[in-house]
Amino acid sequence: MRHTVKALRLIIVVLWLAVLLLPITVALSLWEIFESRDNIRIGEPSFSLLNGNFSISLPFYMNNAGFYDISELCVNIRIYDGSNEILEFSTQPLNIPAGRIVASNLSASVSLADALSRDRELLTTSKDLDVNVALHFRVGYVLAFNVAGKFPFKWGAPFSNLNMTYVSSNTTHVSFEVSFYNNAPFSLSGPLRVELYNLQNVSIGSVEQFLDVASNGRYQELFEISVFQASEEGKIRLFFADILISEKRWGSP
């Protein structure tokens, strides 16, 4: 019995030493990683807009030179217009075993419709935004760390200087010219739809085409829309990926 008690006491002492030494060994492991700038790198983010989803991708490189595994590494990004949070991205967790090098992309996407429900002006108005970035990870699957930072971000609207100009109409067609500049840092790809309504708000015609406008590119197109009934004035609505971009009255000059 005495041998059992002594063994238990020894185990408890060893466990306490391990608990007391763990923060020190974790700190040494992190020092091995962060003492060289070449051991961890995060590249410039890239954005994309496709099929109604707004995505972000961060090139990421880490040489885990420490002696503990890095687990649950992920990035949370929140974008604010003043005090109003308009976008949030969270990347999938990444695990990096000790002694391994990982080069990957930390990616995340959100529904464009959900994002624009908070600030629809993002489609047509360029803004100065604030970005909060939080990096989360665990060392040795035990101790969790969070590193946060904040920086300004210039948002370029994909439908800047949007114009929907009435051209002409007859008994079968109404013509409009649609133009804009894609000032966003990504290509604009997806369905663009023009819908016409009379003054009673009854749909009288529509047309759709697929957009592929490069970043900093200009779009200009003449739409000749077949109408179900003659009308010389009404409303025009412009949709992208089923999201309403703009609406205005139209009429013959």
Q: In angstroms, rounded to a whole number, what is the distance separating the alpha carbons of residues 180 and 174? A: 20
Do residues 122 and 46 both lie within one domain?
yes
Q: In angstroms, rounded to a whole number, what is the distance separating the alpha carbons of residues 66 and 100? A: 9
> Which distant-in-sequence residues (6+ apart) come within 8 Å of 176 by Cβ?
164, 165, 166, 167, 194, 222, 223, 225, 236, 250
Share the mean pLDDT of the chain. 81
Distance of alpha carbon 24 from the chain centroid: 37
Q: In angstroms, rounded to a whole number, what is the distance separating the alpha carbons of residues 212 and 229? A: 31
Task: List the single range of 102-106, 113-117, 242-246 with lowest mean pLDDT.
Answer: 113-117
**What Cα–Cα distance (Å) separates residue 63 from each residue in 36, 103, 146, 166?**
10, 9, 19, 59
Domain boundary among 155, 180, 205: 155
Do residues 33 and 148 both lie within one domain?
yes
* Residue 4 within a domain: no
* Residue 5 within a domain: no
Instruction: Convert the pLDDT of each residue in 142-200 to its tens digit.
Output: 778 888 888 888 889 999 999 999 888 888 888 899 999 999 888 888 899 999 998 88
Q: What's residue 143's pLDDT?
A: 78
Do residues 232 and 148 both lie within one domain?
no
Q: What's residue 64's pLDDT?
A: 86
Q: How many domains does the chain have?
A: 2
- Supply the range of the domain harboring residue 108: 10-155
Name the strand (E) or helix (H) holding 101: strand 101-111
Do residues 19 and 144 both lie within one domain?
yes
Do residues 205 and 230 both lie within one domain?
yes
Instruction: Convert the pLDDT of each residue in 65-94 to its tens digit.
Output: 878 888 888 888 888 888 888 888 888 888
Domain boundary among 155, 185, 213: 155
Domain at 15, CATH number = 2.60.40.10
Q: Which is more confidently placed, 8 or 59? A: 59
> What is the mean predicted confidence (pLDDT) over 25-47?
72
Question: Is the pLDDT assigned to residue 4 strictly greater than 70?
Answer: no
Domain boundary among 98, 121, 155: 155
* Residue 3 within a domain: no
Do residues 203 and 223 both lie within one domain?
yes
Residues 74 and 136 sit within 8 Å (Cβ to Cβ) = yes
Q: In angstroms, rounded to a whole number, what is the distance separating the alpha carbons of residues 78 and 93? A: 17
Do residues 19 and 134 both lie within one domain?
yes
Do residues 149 and 224 both lie within one domain?
no
Q: How confident is the model at residue 111 (pLDDT cuts 50, 70, 90)?
A: confident
pTM: 0.75
* Residue 239 within a domain: yes
**What Cα–Cα distance (Å) separates residue 67 from each residue in 23, 70, 142?**
13, 9, 14
Do residues 33 and 98 both lie within one domain?
yes
